[in-house]
Amino acid sequence: MKNKFFVILLSAAVGISSVFSTEVLAAAKSYLYTSKKPVSKKTIYVGGGSVKLKYNINGRTKGIKGTWKSDNAGRIKVSKNGTCKAVGNGKATVSFTYRFGRKTYTLKCKFTAETKAEEVSLLNSANTTDEVTVESGTDYKFKAKIKPVEEAVEINSKIKSTDKVFYQLFADEDCTQKTKLGTIDSIGVFSAGEKAGTLYVRASAKKTKKAEDDVVSDVIKVNITEAKTDDEADKNKDKKEEVPNAGKLQPAKIELSSNAVIRDLNGQNSVFFADVYYKIFDGNGKEITGSPNIVNSRFTVTWKGNSIQMNELGEPGKVTLILPANTPNVPTPIGTSGELKISYKNTNNSEITDTKTVSVVPPSFITDAEFKGVYRCVYSTTNAAISYETVLDKDVIKLKNGDEIKDFGSYAMMNNLPDSYYLLIKATDNYGNNINSTGIRDFKLNVDVTGSAIISLDTVLENGVEVKESIRPITVDGVSYLTYPLRAGKVKTGEMNITIQGGTIRKVIKKMITDGSSLKAFFITGSTTYVGQDNIIPFVLYTSSGTAIKEYGEVLYYLGIADQDPLGVGTVTLFPDSKVLSSAKGSTFSIRRNPTTKEAEIHYMPNFNVLMNNNVIQDYGTDEITVLKGYGPDLERKIPIVVSKMRQ
């Protein structure tokens, strides 16, 4: 019979009422430090000062040979002497690996690299800073732009600030008094109250809502007028509203690609289809290619002097050339070229034009794909208009347990039924084109959604057959995205895993859908009986809504722990002296996903010295588990345990 460790709990339930932080690594005898105190996690800023990590190994701070390494040099770079510098946003772990005796050890410090904002600007819906007038009881959209600190841009020209925009309302221009004349949400939508008056809007760039307002925009004055009566509305309905700097909002520039990308080398019906992409910008330099104000009938396109038609499939930013097949001595048109001219006439009869010599090139492949978010189709009863609301992206988690996803309509040209939901992906090919094609198939880009939140992609009816592919693209802020409908049903609490793969990329985006509650209690349960044959320690988690949590992903979410394995193997090891669970004798714990039940299990792994006494292994030993270390006398608990060498 094999020897195996067992655990006896001598103390039972431990409760808490707090949300947990992430893991902290601070080895008892050996650790990394910056001044005198051990450090296991640290925030560092791109463009800010560097951080010098030092080691303390059993009291020694010099003379130990080892190697410093960063697991992501695109975020944190570390020198041979432990000096760490942030070069890109995100998380990275810096480690010091050394030999002590016959064994190799590694000390780690987890870094979060962020970039501060240097400037934030606030704009009205006309992309100006002019004051605006709104009627009481109506909404108005503001937007803000953040500029990162110059020192960070010098290090990384593509860096973006990690600070967030917080919109604020004030009664006075000096921003000293709050106002009750309206409200503004996190995405800049201002809702005017029922009373007329004046207020001021400001944008603040900072890490959290409660942080100091060190980087703020100039204010924009808002005049709220009383809502017009029906008679007044009728008198003014034919008057055209004058928008400040309206000329800057119309198309001002068009840019053609110099490539015509063949769709299929086999050709179809004796012809080849080749797509030439273009972008349109307004007078402020903002891309508006997918704007609903861009009308196909205003385009004029010529290929080698012959007029051709614009695409009618709702795929903005693309002109399709039809090239003959079976040309003598030319098996495919690849390598041929010609002049393509595209013009667009504005409502004031001004015209923008671009002309390029376009070469026919082989089919493209995806080189980059980004998760834009999940959007809900919203129907406004006020003006009978369709819009799309962000319910899930890298910053927003509005999607929650109980939300109902409605059917999108089954057909590829439909994306406008109220309360239908869509996954938006920005895909770029090897020619730099933004791919937003209807009907893109798995061989080019495979997108899927799985997980216990019961959210999945819907299929599309094509010639009577159900297929999983992109549908008519949705446009957000002038840019069109690959659009995938979500299957109708009710959202449940659990994991949502978004997989994007194709060409040279593979990404897995993990999101957790909850009921909006927080962690209320974490209990280690048990009595003076053996925990189990695999050293599994029983526990329960309760949320503030009274829900018991057992599912692996949910347990990690509420404990504030992340499974960093992109393949989702389902094991997280808690480092010694973890704030969640730790051992007085250096034993370790891991949280694992049960392959059958998908629930979380806490495994106890005793250190060899638990059973060691006078250099002799004993049949029994003792250990002490600490729960919520450092959370105060009302929360921290120590649980003595007895460890048995033999199976009983």
pLDDT 10s digits, 247-294:
667 899 999 999 999 988 876 667 888 999 999 998 888 888 888 788
- Using pLDDT thresholds of 50, 70 and 90, give the confidence band for residue 420: very high
For residue 503, the model assigns a pLDDT of 75
Q: Helix/strand/coil (H, E, C) string of 378-406?
A: EEECCCCEEEEEEEECCCCECCCCCCEEE
Mean pLDDT of the chain: 82
For residue 224, the model assigns a pLDDT of 94
Find where tokens 């992409």 sit.
277
For residue 640, the model assigns a pLDDT of 81
Q: Which residue has the higher pLDDT, 309 or 402?
A: 402
HSE at residue 372, side-chain half, CA atoms within 13 A, is 24
For residue 568, the model assigns a pLDDT of 58
For residues 55-79, average pLDDT: 92
pLDDT per residue as tens digits for the range 71-113: 998 899 999 999 999 999 889 999 999 988 788 999 999 999 9
User: Rounded distance, CA 176 to CA 194, Å?
Assistant: 23
HSE at residue 74, side-chain half, CA atoms within 13 A, is 4
b/e 428-455 (16+ beta carbons within 10 angstroms → b)? bbbbebbbbbbebeeebbebebbbbbbb
User: Rounded distance, CA 76 to CA 196, Å?
Assistant: 52
For residue 180, the model assigns a pLDDT of 92
pLDDT per residue as tens digits for the range 530-549: 444 457 888 888 877 777 88
Q: What is the dihedral of CA 597, 571, 628, 612, to 10 degrees?
A: 110
Q: Say if CB 504 and CB 367 are below 8 A apart.
A: yes
Q: Which residue has the higher pLDDT, 566 or 628?
A: 628
For residue 645, the model assigns a pLDDT of 67
Q: Which domains does the chain have, with CATH numbers?
A: 22-114 (2.60.40.1080), 117-225 (2.60.40.1080), 253-361 (2.60.40), 370-513 (no CATH), 519-644 (2.60.40)
For residue 520, the model assigns a pLDDT of 73
Percent of residues, the chain, with pLDDT higher than 90: 36
User: CB 387: neighbour CB atoms within 10 A?
Assistant: 12
For residues 564-569, average pLDDT: 62
User: Rounded distance, CA 336 to CA 326, Å?
Assistant: 14
| 164 pLDDT higher than 60 | yes
- Using pLDDT thresholds of 50, 70 and 90, give the confidence band for residue 308: confident
Q: Say if CB 125 and CB 97 are below 8 A apart.
A: no
Q: Say if CB 536 and CB 602 are below 8 A apart.
A: yes
For residues 394-399, average pLDDT: 81
Residue 450's DSSP bridge partners are 497
Q: Say if CB 340 and CB 257 are below 8 A apart.
A: no
The length of the chain in residues reads 648
Element (H, E) at 77: strand 76-78
For residue 268, the model assigns a pLDDT of 65
Radius of gyration for the alpha carbons in the chain, expressed in angstroms and rounded: 30
How would you class 586 by CB atoms within 10 Å of its CB: exposed for 0-12, middle for 13-18, buried for 19 or more?
Answer: middle
| 426 pLDDT higher than 90 | yes
Pairing of strands 318-324, 220-225: unpaired
DSSP string computed for 12-47: ------S---------SSEEEESSSSB-SEEEEETT
b/e 11-30 (16+ beta carbons within 10 angstroms → b)? beebbbeeebebbbbbbeeb
| 15 pLDDT higher than 50 | no
For residue 643, the model assigns a pLDDT of 76
Q: Which of 45, 105, 97, 52 is nearest to 71 (CA)?
A: 97
| 235 pLDDT higher than 60 | no
**Quick check: helix, strand or coil at residue 534?**
coil
For residue 45, the model assigns a pLDDT of 96
pLDDT per residue as tens digits for the range 514-532: 877 776 777 777 554 444 4
| 23 pLDDT higher than 70 | no
Residue type, 235: K
For residue 243, the model assigns a pLDDT of 47
Q: Which residue has the higher pLDDT, 184 or 578?
A: 184
HSE at residue 432, side-chain half, CA atoms within 13 A, is 7
pLDDT per residue as tens digits for the range 310-335: 765 567 889 999 888 766 666 788 88
User: Rounded distance, CA 208 to CA 223, Å?
Assistant: 29
Q: Which residue has the higher pLDDT, 107 or 615?
A: 107
Q: Which of 370, 476, 509 is nearest to 428 (CA)?
A: 370
For residues 228-255, average pLDDT: 62
Q: How far apart are the first and last CA of the chain?
A: 10
Q: Which residue has the higher pLDDT, 577 or 113?
A: 113
| 625 pLDDT higher than 90 | no
- Using pLDDT thresholds of 50, 70 and 90, give the confidence band for residue 230: low
pLDDT per residue as tens digits for the range 354-377: 999 999 999 998 899 999 999 999
| 193 pLDDT higher than 50 | yes
